[in-house]
Amino acid sequence: MEYGLIFFLLFSIITILNGYEYYDDMRAVKQQMLRKYNVDAVPKSSSNVSLVVNATLYVMALSGLDEKHQILSMSVFWVIRWQDVIFKWDNTKYKNVKEMTVKVRDLWVPDVFVVNALKDMRVSRLDENEYVNALSDGHMTWYPSTELMTSCSVDISKYPFDIQVCSIRIESWYHNSKHFVLKPGNPGIDFSESHFLENGEWKVTNLTSFAYNYTDYLDNTTFYTGIKYLITLKRRSSYHLLTTGFPFFILMFLNTLSVIIPTECGEKLGFCMAQFLTVIVFLTLVAQSMPVSSLTISHFTLVIASQILISGFSTLIVAVSIYFQNKSENKKPPLFLQILLTPILYLQNVTKNPEKEEIEEHTITWKHFDERVNCILRVVLFFNIGVSVSLYAIFVLIN
């Protein structure tokens, strides 16, 4: 029992002494490194050699894409790596210290800006709680994170089957390519598997990145480097088909009811007017979620706008039909209306019994006009349904 207690005490003492030794070595290394360190100077070995900075972007969550204001919101963090030839120490002298964390404000970090960000463009905020992981051979790893809001040009022409490609561009502003160059890491952009959350409206289908150069605005011979991350988003269309597409087709089929409602019924004109106003309100509701832009217009919006034209045309035809029915049969239509209707009557009489052709050749009445305009209305409404359904089916199959 006594030997066990003695062994435990000796083990505890040795552990404590090793802990103090590690602490002393860590403090000695930091003091030695930071004493001669200049946070404003690029830590490279030669003026002719550019420091290579590798930056990998990891997506933690896609907050959403605001199409109306064209803003992409994401939770991201970068893994930025480079080799600092100044901040390195002898592993043989400080055997216990192989790596350490150093505050960002005490080290040189690349000046990286998200140039298409709407706020907080600078990646290096020099926050008190930000650290860089430093290895003894000078390899540095920095993990800046942010809730990123960037501009994204939205093309809604294929809504609700649209695919959007948004970009995140980071550039170095104060140091040109002679000082350091930005390059995508391996991989350049990826999901953070332990953090990523799916978005209910958008699905990320592709992530790519590439480096690019740009020249100074005043000096075209000076080059700066940057990285462009491309994020491809595909809209999850199920919700929009249920809440937008389905009601629209119901409204379109209801338009055809104006054909079977008798003109003598006083509610026919009221029904057409109600349909006309309903389609206008429906278009207004859909337009509220669309970007205010004339560069791209949704095909679906154009189809709804065409239904406004069809509903207006139906209302006009019904009003004209009521006007014709209220005309006296004893009064003949004006000459110009008779001339306008004669070719239609002639084509119809050709297909009829030849014995009746002479009887109906010169008998143009207001009733004829009523029958013809209602026939035109039926043709337009059924043609509209056929074309709209066919185009919509083709559009769904393609996407």
> Which residues does 365 contact at the CB level (< 8 Å), separation at least 6?
329, 332, 333
Q: State how far the Cα of 217 lies from the Cα of 281, in Å rounded to an integer.
A: 49
Residue 43, preceding bond cis, omega within 30 degrees?
A: no
DSSP code at position 41: S
**196 Rama sector, left if φ>0, alpha if ψ -120 to 50, beta otherwise:** beta
Query: What confidence score (pLDDT) does residue 227 get?
Result: 94
> Which residues does 360 contact at the CB level (< 8 Å), separation at least 6?
345, 349, 352
Query: Which stretch of 138-142, 204-208, 341-345, 347-351 has the lowest confidence by average pLDDT?
Result: 347-351
pLDDT band at 129 (very low <50, low <70, confident <90, very high): confident
**How many Cβ atoms from other residues are within 10 Å of residue 299's Cβ?**
17
* Contact yes or no for 381/256 (Cβ under 8 A): yes
**How many Cβ atoms from other residues are within 10 Å of residue 311's Cβ?**
25
H-run or E-run covering 307: helix 299-325
**How many Cβ atoms from other residues are within 10 Å of residue 47's Cβ?**
9
pLDDT: which is higher, 194 or 4: 194
Beta pairing, strands 139-142 & 131-135? antiparallel
* Contact yes or no for 113/171 (Cβ under 8 A): yes
* Contact yes or no for 261/268 (Cβ under 8 A): yes
pLDDT: which is higher, 1 or 185: 185
Query: What confidence score (pLDDT) does residue 222 get?
Result: 79
Residue 5, pLDDT > 80, answer no
Query: What confidence score (pLDDT) does residue 126 get?
Result: 63
Taking only the tens place, the pLDDT of each residue in 269-317 is: 888 888 888 888 887 877 776 666 666 777 777 777 788 888 888 888 7
**Top-ranked range on mean pLDDT: pick from 29-33, 107-111, 259-263:** 107-111
Q: State how far the Cα of 67 lies from the Cα of 64, in Å rounded to an integer.
A: 9
Task: With CA atoms as reference, report the closest residue to 253 among 277, 281, 275.
Answer: 275
* Contact yes or no for 289/67 (Cβ under 8 A): yes
CA-CA-CA-CA torsion sign (87, 91, 93, 98): positive
Q: State how far the Cα of 55 lies from the Cα of 183, in Å rounded to an integer.
A: 6
> Which residues does 158 contact at the CB level (< 8 Å), separation at least 6?
298, 299, 395, 399
Stretch 116-135: mean pLDDT: 80
Give the amino acid at 241.
Answer: L
pLDDT: which is higher, 315 or 330: 315
Q: State how far the Cα of 355 lies from the Cα of 289, in Å rounded to an integer.
A: 62
Taking only the tens place, the pLDDT of each residue in 339-397 is: 555 555 554 454 445 544 444 444 556 566 666 667 777 777 777 777 777 766 666 56
**126 Rama sector, left if φ>0, alpha if ψ -120 to 50, beta otherwise:** left
Proportion of the chain above pLDDT 90, given as a percent: 18
> Which residues does 272 contact at the CB level (< 8 Å), separation at least 6?
258, 311, 314, 315, 318
E strand residue ranges, the chain: 51-66, 71-83, 99-103, 112-114, 131-135, 139-142, 145-151, 163-172, 180-191, 202-215, 223-235
Q: State how far the Cα of 367 lies from the Cα of 242, in Å rounded to an integer.
A: 43
Residue written as token pair 């075209």:
220
* Contact yes or no for 168/150 (Cβ under 8 A): yes
- Phi then psi for residue 20, to 5 deg, are -65, -35
Encoded tokens for 76: 């991201």
* Contact yes or no for 313/380 (Cβ under 8 A): yes
